[in-house]
Amino acid sequence: MTEQTSQTANSGSAPLTVGAATQSVHAGEVRRKPLHALIDPIFQTSTYTFERMADVVAYEEAHNQGHPMDRCEYGRYGNPTVTAAEARLAALEHAEGAIQVASGMGAITHTLLSLLKSGEHVVMTDDSYRRTRQFCEDYLKKFNIACSVVPFGDYEALAAAIRPETRVLFSETPSNPYNRILDVEQFVRIARRHDLRSVVDATFSTPINFNPLDLGVDLVTHSATKYLGGHNDLLAGFIAGRKQLIDPLRNALGILGGISDPNTAYLLIRGMKTLALRVAQQNRSAQQVAEFLESHAAVERVWYPGLQSHPDHALGLRLMRGFGGLISFTVKGGRAEAYRAIDALRIPFISPSLGGPESLVIHLATQAYSDLKPHERLKLGIPDNLIRLAVGFEDVADLTADLDQALNSI
C-alpha cells in the first residue's frame, strides 16, 4: 500500500506521510472535538438556533458569499456529524470535498441530474450496476437527456459515442459484476479532449485499493452501504471531487433533499476507521477463494482481477493496490446447477450487497434481473449459470471447504 499525506495532527502542524491504516483511523478528522470527546458526537437535531438577529445576518451574508460555514441552520443543509464523515471520506479519496447522501444510487442520480440538463447526453460503459444503467437509459429520458452505452474497455467506441451535446462520461472500476478495470488514464484523456466531466463509481475499489481522482477523474461516487460502512447495517452514498464541482452539488442537495442522517454518519465514521484493515483482509481472502474456484472442476470461469485469466489483470496490477472482495463465476451447467450449488452453501447468506463481515452470494439472473427474459439477460451478459460471491471476514479455509462441498453437489 502506498503512503499518503494527511493533515490529521494538531492544527498548524506540517502534513504527515502516513499509511492506509493511519489514514483510515484519522483522515479528515478535527483533532479537538466538542467537550474533548475522542469520538465524533452524534448531533441528533434537525434544527439549529441563533442567539440574536445579528448572528442570523452574519450567517446569511457568509452563506450567500460562499464562505465556509462553522455552524448549521437546518438539517437539510448540514449536520456536524455528517460533516465529519464527509471530511474523512474526502481525505481518504484525496478530494477537496465530499457530500454524504442517502444511498449509493442517490450519489449517482444526484450527480448526473446536477451535471446534465435537457437536450444533453451521457455516455456510460455497459458492465455497470443495473440500476445505474436503468437510470441513465430510462429515467433520464423523462428529462430529455439521452444516454449511450458502450462496451467496457472499448475506448474507441467510447470516443466515437461522444456527440456535440455530450457532457458526461460515466463508468465503474472495478465493474459490476465482471470486475472489469477501467483504464482511467485513457478515460480521462478522452473526457478532457472533448471538455467533458468524468464520473467514476469507485464502490468496489474503495479508497484503499484505488483513488481515481489522483488520475484526473472529476467526480467519484460510492455506495457507502458497502465497504465504507462495512457491516451491512446502513444505507448511504458519497460524492467526492474538487470544490468547484462539490459546492454546486451540495447546494442542489438542499433543494433535492436526498440527505443522510447523523446516526448513519456516525456509523460511517466508525466503519471507515477500520476500512484499511477490512479491505486488506478481503483482498487476501478473495484472491485465495478466486484461485480455488478457478481450479475447481465444477466451475466454468472466474472473473477476479487478481487472476491472470482476467482480461484486465495487467491493467489492474498497474493501477490497483488490491482487487477487493467480490468474485463472479459461472458453474458448469445452467440455472438448476447454480441453484443447487447456492442452496448447498452453509456459510454465505443468499443476499445482494457486499463489503460486510458476512460472505454473501447472489444468483444475478434471479434476484437482480428477474424481470427480464432470458435473451434480454444474455444481451446484458447475465447467463443463468452466473454466481456472484462477496467474500466476508470468515477464515478462507472454511469458505473454500464450504464452496467445495457445495460445488460437488452439482
Q: What is the secondary structure of 135-182 as a DSSP string?
A: HHHTGGGGGT-EEEEE-TT-HHHHHHT--TTEEEEEEESS-TTT-PPP
Kindly tell me if the per-residue pLDDT of 23 is higher than 50: yes
Q: Give pLDDT, residue 20.
A: 86
Q: If pLDDT is split at 50, 70 and 90, which confidence band does 15 have?
A: low
Exposed (0-12), middle (13-18) or buried (19+): which is 99, by Cβ within 10 Å?
buried
Q: Where are the domains of the chain?
A: 4-43+79-273, 276-407
Q: Which of 181, 164, 171 is nearest to 112 (CA)?
A: 171
Contact status, residue 221 vs residue 202, Cβ threshold 8 Å: yes
Task: Specify the pLDDT at position 16.
Answer: 60
- Between 65-79, 80-94, 229-243, 369-383, the lowest mean confidence (pLDDT) is in 65-79
Between 210 and 26, whose confidence is greater?
210
pLDDT of 8 strictly over 80: no
- pLDDT tens, residue by residue, 309-330: 999 999 999 999 999 999 999 9
C-alpha cell at 330: 459461472
Q: What is the CA radius of gyration of the chain?
A: 22
The amino acid at residue 119 is G
**pLDDT score of 42:** 95
> Rounded CA gap, 136 and 159, in Å?
18
276-407 has the same fold as 4-43+79-273: no
DSSP-derived 3-state class of residue 74:
strand
Count the neighbouring beta carbons within 10 Å of the beta carbon of residue 289: 24
> Domain 4-43+79-273 belongs to what topology?
Aspartate Aminotransferase; domain 2 (3.40.640)
Rounded mean pLDDT of 86-106?
A: 97
Q: pTM (2 decimals)?
A: 0.92
What per-residue confidence (pLDDT) applies to 65?
A: 82
Residue 42, class by beta-carbon neighbours within 10 Å (0-12 exposed, 13-18 middle, 19+ buried)? Answer: middle
**Under CATH, which number does the domain 276-407 receive?**
3.90.1150.10
Kindly tell me if the per-residue pLDDT of 2 is higher than 70.
no
pLDDT at 95: 97
Poorest-pLDDT segment among 127-131, 160-164, 289-293: 127-131
Chain-wide mean pLDDT for the chain? Answer: 94
| Burial zone of 10 (CB within 10 Å; 0-12 exposed, 13-18 middle, 19+ buried) | exposed
Q: What is the DSSP secondary structure assignment for residue 214, as one 8-state letter?
A: G
Q: Is the dihedral of CA 185, 190, 192, 196 positive or negative?
A: negative
Does position 7 have pLDDT exceeding 80, yes or no? no
Contact 119/143 with Cβ under 8 angstroms? no
